[in-house]
Amino acid sequence: MTTDNLISKLTSVFPQVNKPEGKALSFHRDDCFQCEYLRKDLKAVTGKELSPESIRVVHQEMSCLSAQGWRWVLPSYLKYCLSQPHEYWQLETEFLIYNLSPTEDHREETKERLSALTLEQVRYLIDFLKWCGEHEYWGEYCESEISSGREFLSSIFS
């Protein structure tokens, strides 16, 4: 899977959607300070597309996003990851890889966060991880997480 192929498929597989409002954005609805801070940090963000600055806010808190939050974030987030020069300092791609390869203890929560995605979207994420695995930096640095993520995502619809 080439970068150009993934980018050209992105908009048809991941159409941009409106931002979920209020607590619908976050995974934990009540009594979670991390989710509350994420909602506050993204309160001023409107529309369907996220800016690089908003992606920077989200990248460390993806586990705080609801399934609808993931649907809103992924089109912009994936485009960002695919369009940026991939250097060791690019934490957004690294954190997405980690979020797509949960430990056994977090697999059910992650399945719930990904539950608003279609089969085609999950297959795209598998292709994204395959692309990461073929990348000279990510393929070496996150090799086990990429492999684990592909296995996990493949198991979602089986």
Q: Nearest-CA neighbor of 125 among 88, 85, 70?
A: 70
CB 137 within 8 Å of CB 89: no
Written as tens digits, the pLDDT of the chain (158 aa) is 799 999 999 999 999 999 999 999 999 877 889 999 999 999 999 999 999 999 999 999 999 999 999 999 999 999 999 987 655 557 899 999 999 999 999 999 999 999 999 999 999 999 999 999 998 888 998 999 999 999 999 998 76
Matching residue, tokens 């090799």: 143
pLDDT of 64 reads 95
Q: Which residues contact 40 (CB under 8 A, 6 or more apart)?
A: none
Neighbour count for residue 157 (Cβ, 10 Å): 10
Containing structural domain, residue 114: 3-156
Separation CA 64–CA 48 (nearest Å): 19
CB 58 within 8 Å of CB 94: no
Indicate whether this model's pTM tops 0.85. yes
Separation CA 79–CA 74 (nearest Å): 8
How many domains, in total, are found in the chain? 1
